[in-house]
């Protein structure tokens, strides 16, 4: 990681939202793994990279069915505990997860970066969009808060929804959303490069 990237990312607190809906149990990932197992590996890699410049741990929010849980101060050593504490089930309460992420944001003078890993269309598409829109309209600067959505799996309806959040979300003071398919995200050489691209989007 170059010094400029490290300096940029050190200005942020990071919050990770992880989809734990029932469809995350599907076994359609490389090597026949489930989306949930793949997500555990991805989250571990992400947290390892982020804790190099966000040393107080990362807030992780899991969401599925009626359960939206916030895990505070997660380090790479604790990622496995987050995943073993639950299994994929239920629907996709994205609006509730984003609301929880915003409650976790603003805990310091740093800017906030929320990365959301999800594999499907949320229970209430408009409610999720409204959470983002309202957050954008409360911001004083473009980079105070950034949302990055990374699709897990290749569901075309999920791809289309996340694209709409990225490109067609109306009524926002700032464009604070970037969205990547799984393939697009994996094309970046490092987690840091993926995050920096979203910040500069």
Starting at the edge strand found earlier in the chain, the sheet holding 12-19 runs 67-74, 58-64, 12-19, 111-118, 145-151, 177-180
pLDDT, averaged per 10 consecutive residues of the chain (201 residues), comes to: 76 96 94 94 91 86 96 94 94 98 92 96 96 96 95 94 94 95 91 89 79
What would the pLDDT profile of 140-170 be if each residue is shown by its tens digit?
999 999 999 999 999 999 999 999 999 999 9
* Packed helices 94-104 and 125-138: angle between N→C axes, nearest 10 degrees: 20
DSSP 3-state of 146: strand
The residue ranges of every structural domain in the chain are 3-199
**Which pTM value belongs to this model?**
0.95
- CATH annotation of 3-199: 3.40.50.410
Can you tell me the distance from the alpha carbon of 51 to that of 63, in angstroms, rounded to the nearest whole number?
22
């Amino acid at each position: 990681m170059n010094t400029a990237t490290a300096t940029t990312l050190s200005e942020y607190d990071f919050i990770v939202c992880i989809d734990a809906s029932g469809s995350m149990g599907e076994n359609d990932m490389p090597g026949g793994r489930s989306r949930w197992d793949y997500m555990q590996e991805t989250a571990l890699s992400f947290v390892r990279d982020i804790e190099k410049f966000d040393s107080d741990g990362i807030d992780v929010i899991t969401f599925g069915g009626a359960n939206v849980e916030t895990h505070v101060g997660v380090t790479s050593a604790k990622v496995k505990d987050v995943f073993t504490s639950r299994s994929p089930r239920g629907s996709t309460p994205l609006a509730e997860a984003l609301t929880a992420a915003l409650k976790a944001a603003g805990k310091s003078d740093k800017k906030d970066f929320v990365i959301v890993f999800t594999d499907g269309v949320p229970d209430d598409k408009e409610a999720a969009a409204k959470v983002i829109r309202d957050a954008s309209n409360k911001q004083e600067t473009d980079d105070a808060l950034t949302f990055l959505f990374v699709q897990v799996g290749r569901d075309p309806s999920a791809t289309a929804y996340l694209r709409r959040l990225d490109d067609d979300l109306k009524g926002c003071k700032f464009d604070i959303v970037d969205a990547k398919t799984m393939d697009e995200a994996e094309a970046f050489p490092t987690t840091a490069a993926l995050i920096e691209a979203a910040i500069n989007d």
